[in-house]
Structure 1
Amino acid sequence: MRPAVYRRASLRTLRGIACAAAFGQAGSALAQNTTDTSSIPSPHAETIKARAAARPEVQNLPHAGVVGQPRRIAPSQNKAPSGRQGPWGEFDRGTGESAGFGPVGRYGVAPWAEDWSYLADPSPKLRDDPFDPLKFIALNSSRTIWLSLSGETRLRNWYEEEPNLGSKGHPGSGRFGVRNLYGADLHLGSHVRVFGQLINADAAGWNAYGYNDTYRKRLDLQQAFVEFRENLLGAKTGFMFGRQQFLDAPSYILYNRETPNVPLAWNGFRTYAIWPRIRIDAYDFVGTNIAPSQMFHDTEDWTTRLYGFDATMVVPTLRVLGGDLHSYLDLFYIGFKLGGSTAAIVAGNGTASGNTTRDDYGFRWYGSAKDLEFSVGGLYQGGTFNAAKTSVARTVAAYAFNATVGYRHPESFLHPFIGVQADLYSGGDTRNRTGDVGTYIAPFNPQTNYLDTTTYIAPSNLISLSPIVRVTPVGFASLQFKCPFFWRDSTNDSIYSSSSAYSYPRFSGGYVGVVPQASLTLQLNRHLSWTQYGARFITSNSLHAAGARSGSYYQSNFVFRF
């Protein structure tokens, strides 16, 4: 990472944030409940009794997956006028992640995944929020051409007693980041739409470190694509071309780079088809080069490529523990090519640079019943690694397994979720410079808090086991506790940070450490949320003796969305 050059965020930016927050507070009117489920084709209607909330239900986005949400979101709770996904039928269940466009509550991780078309009806009863006029701006008399505006301002600050186990930065580091993402979604009838989104970001702090182009960004184009939609062969089909977010993968494999300020953006095409009980998706992208410091100078990163195929099926409803189990099965292939430092591997006593091609073949089965929620997935990672300045290619043979299962009681006052999470990421033998590469990698920023909130340990050569307890006693506040225990899969391989391998040559044990942690999510109103994380990374005796340090971690996120 580049040396830090610290500066304060501009007063103008901070004033704008304060104004946005004040405007968001004005929109704290209660969401209208709706029981209309006519657009949900499932014959198994899900009814959940929950206490009436004095504020909007906490959604905890951008966390993905059914087991990641504080309260169970039934189909009837996810309809207009509370905001919803597109008309994807059975794939709209819960947060709609199974539709392939990321989770959506009132707002989505991808703003273009939100469906505000119901506001074409000019009836005032559908408009109960000061921002509704910005979500549907009719541009013709028949209201078939319309514009939807979206925005997010995020204030993030975090404190690290010993950053990256004491291997980076400065002890007692405090950092602050602000980012703005504002977009416009132009619908030209029902078959064509154009979406664009701007970004700017800044960062500062004390004893700070690691500010690079993922934290500081002058005004630039984060997303810009055109989408064509049509009904073909009984399916709702689409073709998206341009710069865009991509979220059609398990979030523990590939997500949106949420810890820094600048999310991932991909350049290329994506095509999809959604039938009543099956959908398919194919894509081919190159990365975005965000290194240029001038305004509107981001270009394509031709050294990074992402491509693949996904098929998601609605599993026939099963009867489990006295309730209906609604679930989905993903079968996917995810391929990627990397060059430069991100493709380097540990070999012998040093690092071997080069380029790598990885092929992920996997599955994920996930869903929920009355009191059960689960996600189980596995994959095999093949491919090759080509060392720089040589013609020798090493075969990749790695794998991963991920599972979360738990009990939830929606009718309880505490709305508890009690579960366990288990993860395995294969390791290799870094003593060798030849032979198979057995270390699994996930280079495209898996969901930040999936393993643990510090992000000090990356999903490579790792075994993780963690209990999870979450309570949501009121509709606008949720508290979660996790305590992941970490081990190395192979003691002949390193442990890894999010950007490189740690260098602890005297570390000979398998046990890495434990990270007790808690998170508090507050949905202050429809547009303002505040999430706080606290953790303590406690290294094992062996890792501490090798030079690593235990330390505390705190993070705060104050987010305004419309």
Structure 2
Amino acid sequence: MKFLWLVGTAMVSAMGVAVSPAMAQTVTPKAAAEPASPASTAYPTSAAGDGNTVAGYNQSRWAEDWRKYCDPSKRDDFIDALKCVKLTEDGKSYVTFSGELRTRVNITTNPNLREVQQQRQDIARIVGGADFHLGDHFRVFGELGRAELQGINLGAPGGNLRNQLAVQQLFAEVKGKALGLDVGVRAGRQEFFDGPQLLTVGRDNNTLFFVLDGVRAYARGKDARVDIFDLNYVTYGFQGISDDKTNPDVRFSGATFGFRLSPKLFGGSKLYLDPFIWRLRNRRAVWGPTTGLEERYFLGLHAYGDAGPVNIDWTVNNQRGTFNNRSIEAWQAFIAQTYRLGNKPDAPRVGVHFDYG
């Protein structure tokens, strides 16, 4: 059988349900903040698969680097002291504390396109984390989150919308140099942003981010990188930290590559090509009244970056596999690009977005 598989804010939705694209989280950067780097690498951090870092801030707190605040003369306010609490006198071992409080109201009229009472979601996300750097080669990152949800016509909220306390992330990382490359391994519960945003995204509109348990390994050079991973979905509970479980039935694995194109192209550019090969296996996938084993294989190419005033984000992806011994064949193309009207970075942009499946 052939059918179309649609994706939205879910990372790789095992249900195949189309939803609205994730809303980007807005942060107000400090004027004095410097660009952060998740690791000491010559490969550009904005294309390294760890999310986008702007003025030092990243949606994933572990991808931020605040070592400069180990020097008290560079701190702007008392909160900066929490970004580098020295554990050793030389500052090679230190801890960075982070936190977030987000409130949000969603009002949806005619939910599910039916003539029913409107839905109002009063959302609050409370997150606290600590990033322990023990020397130059080892770190442990932990993050707890609380999800609060009130309102009207809420239905049956999931654990990612209402949760008393959850371990949102907890992983260890070992990194270093090998053959002139920056290499590392992360093991544990973690967010995953290495891919096109219509396929890999943290679901920011939900109260708690989408996370996975498993292992990621990476190698980065000056103009190329590779990220290999083997992860399982996490199913959130509703109570304390003991009921957020790894789902052994849903496994996501594969490799994402990255190549930096010559900056001389088009008279000056910052362009990247990321081929990816992924597999999604769900032992209890549901399609209509049928529950069965589903295996999907993704072979795609993601091209993105800036060429003068033009920004592109193009993805072509082929899916093959089986669901309950029935074949899966699908093509996808996500084409988005904008043109900046002016020379300043904050100049308005016009653009076009086209999706095909």
Tell me if TM exceeds 0.5: yes
Which residue identity lines up with residue 101 of structure 1 in the other structure?
A: D
Counterpart among 308, 311, 318 of residue 380 in structure 1: 318
5+ long unaligned stretches in structure 1: 1-60, 71-76, 387-392, 426-562
Q: 1:82 to 1:138 in 2, by over 3 A?
A: same
Aligned to 2:290: 352
Matched, 1:129 2:77: yes
1:337 corresponds to which residue?
281
Distance in 2 (alpha carbons) for counterparts of 1:232 and 1:159: 52
Whole-Å separation in 2 of the counterparts to 1:135 and 1:62: 27
TM-superposed deviation, 1:198: 0.3
Residue 396 of structure 1 pairs with residue 328 of structure 2: yes
Could you say what secondary structure the match of 1:89 adopts? coil
Matches within 5 A, 1:121-520: 122-124=71-73, 126-166=74-114, 170-291=116-237, 293-320=239-266, 323-340=267-284, 343-346=285-288, 351-386=289-324, 393-411=325-343, 415-425=347-357
CA contact (8 A) 2:250 2:281 kept: yes
Q: Deviations over 1:380-421 (max 9, x none)?
A: 0011101xxxxxx01111111011112113425971111100
2:44 matched residue in structure 1: 91
Shift of 1:249: 1.4
Describe the superposition over 1:291-314 as per-residue Cα deviations: whole angstroms up to 9, x where unpaired: 353443322111111111011000
Length, aligned pairs only: 333
User: Take 1:414 and 1:243, find their aligned partners in 2: how far apart are those partners?
Assistant: 36
SS at match of 2:81: helix
- Quick one: which amino acid aligns to residue 331 of structure 1? P
- Alignment partners' CA distance in 1, 2:94 and 2:43: 27
Give the corresponding residue for 2:49. Answer: 100
Q: Which AA in structure 1 matches 2:337?
A: V
The change in CA–CA distance for 1:85 and 1:413 in structure 2 (over 3 A counts) is: closer
Task: Return the letter of the residue paired with 1:85.
Answer: S
Q: C-alpha separation between the residues in 1 aligned to 2:30 and 2:254?
A: 30
Pick closer, same or farther for the CA change 1:413–1:182 going to 2, 3 Å. Answer: closer
**Distance across 1 between alignment mates of 2:203 and 2:321:** 24
How far, CA to CA, are the matches of 1:111 and 1:62 in structure 2? Answer: 18
Change (3 A) 1:233 1:175: same
**What is the CA distance between 1:78 and its match in structure 2?**
11
Q: SS at the partner of 1:101?
A: coil
Check conservation: 1:62, 1:108, Cα contact below 8 A.
no
Q: Which has the larger radius of gyration?
A: 1
Q: Structure 1: how far apart are the matches of 2:219 and 2:200?
A: 21
**Secondary structure of the equivalent of 1:229?**
strand
- Distance in 1 between residues matched to 2:217 and 2:275, nearest whole Å: 16
In 2, Cα distance between equivalents of 1:414 and 1:284? 39
Q: Could you state the TM-score of these two structures normalised by the residue count of structure 2? A: 0.87
Deviations 1:117-170 (A, max 9, x none): 2223x251x211332101100011111110001111111111111112228xx4
Q: Is the 8 A contact 1:160 1:171 kept in 2?
A: no
Q: Distance in 1 between matches of 2:242 and 2:145?
A: 10
Report the Cα distance in structure 2 between the residues aligned to 1:226 and 1:133, rounded to whole angstroms. 24
Give the superposition deviation at 1:228.
0.2
Q: Distance in 2 between matches of 1:80 and 1:236?
A: 28
Letter in 1 for 2:287: I
Separation in 2 of the partners of 1:137 and 1:176?
Answer: 35
Aligned 8 A contact 2:165 2:239 in 1: no
Distance in 2 between the 1:250 and 1:80 partners?
Answer: 30
More strand by share: 2
Judge conservation of contact 1:119–1:136 (CA < 8 Å) in 2: yes
Cα displacement (A) at 1:352: 2.4
Task: Write the distance in 1 (CA, Å) between the matches of 2:203 and 2:60.
Answer: 13
- Would the alpha carbon gap of residues 412 and 140 (structure 1) be closer, same or farther in structure 2, given more than 3 Å must change? closer
In 2, Cα distance between the equivalents of 1:335 and 1:132? 42
Alignment partners' CA distance in 2, 1:383 and 1:407 = 38
| 2: CA distance, partners of 1:283 / 1:185 | 22
CA distance in 1, matches of 2:148, 2:345: 41
Residues 256, 370 of structure 1: alpha-carbon distance in 2 compared, 3 angstrom cutoff? same
RMSD, aligned CA: 2.4
Q: Distance in 1 between matches of 2:42 and 2:339?
A: 26
Say whether the 8 Å CA contact 1:374–1:404 is kept in structure 2.
yes
Contact 2:162/2:238 (<8 A) preserved: no
Q: Within 2, Cα distance between the matches of 1:78 and 1:294?
A: 34
Report the Cα offset of residue 206 of structure 1: 2.0
Query: Equivalents in 2 of 1:114, 1:140: separation in Å?
Result: 20
In 2, Cα distance between equivalents of 1:133 and 1:296: 32
Q: CA deviation at 1:221?
A: 1.2
**Aligned ranges for residues 18-167 of structure 1 at < 5 Å?**
63=24, 81-86=33-38, 87-92=40-45, 96=46, 98-105=47-54, 106-120=56-70, 122-124=71-73, 126-166=74-114
What CA deviation, in whole Å up to 9, does each residue of 1:253-304 have, x standing for no partner? 1111222212111111000011011010000011112135344332211111
The runs of 5 or more residues in structure 2 that have no matched partner are 1-21
Q: CA–CA distance in 1 between the matches of 2:283 and 2:181? A: 38
* 2:58 partner SS: coil
Amino acid at match of 1:172: Q
The code of the aligned residue for 1:110 comes to S
Shift of 1:177: 1.1
Shift of 1:116: 1.1
SS of match in other structure, 1:316 = coil
Q: Per the alignment, in what secondary structure is the counterpart of residue 296 of structure 1? A: helix
SS of equivalent to 2:53: coil
In 2, are the aligned partners of 1:78 and 1:84 still within 8 Å (CA)? no
| TM superposition shift of 1:103 | 1.2
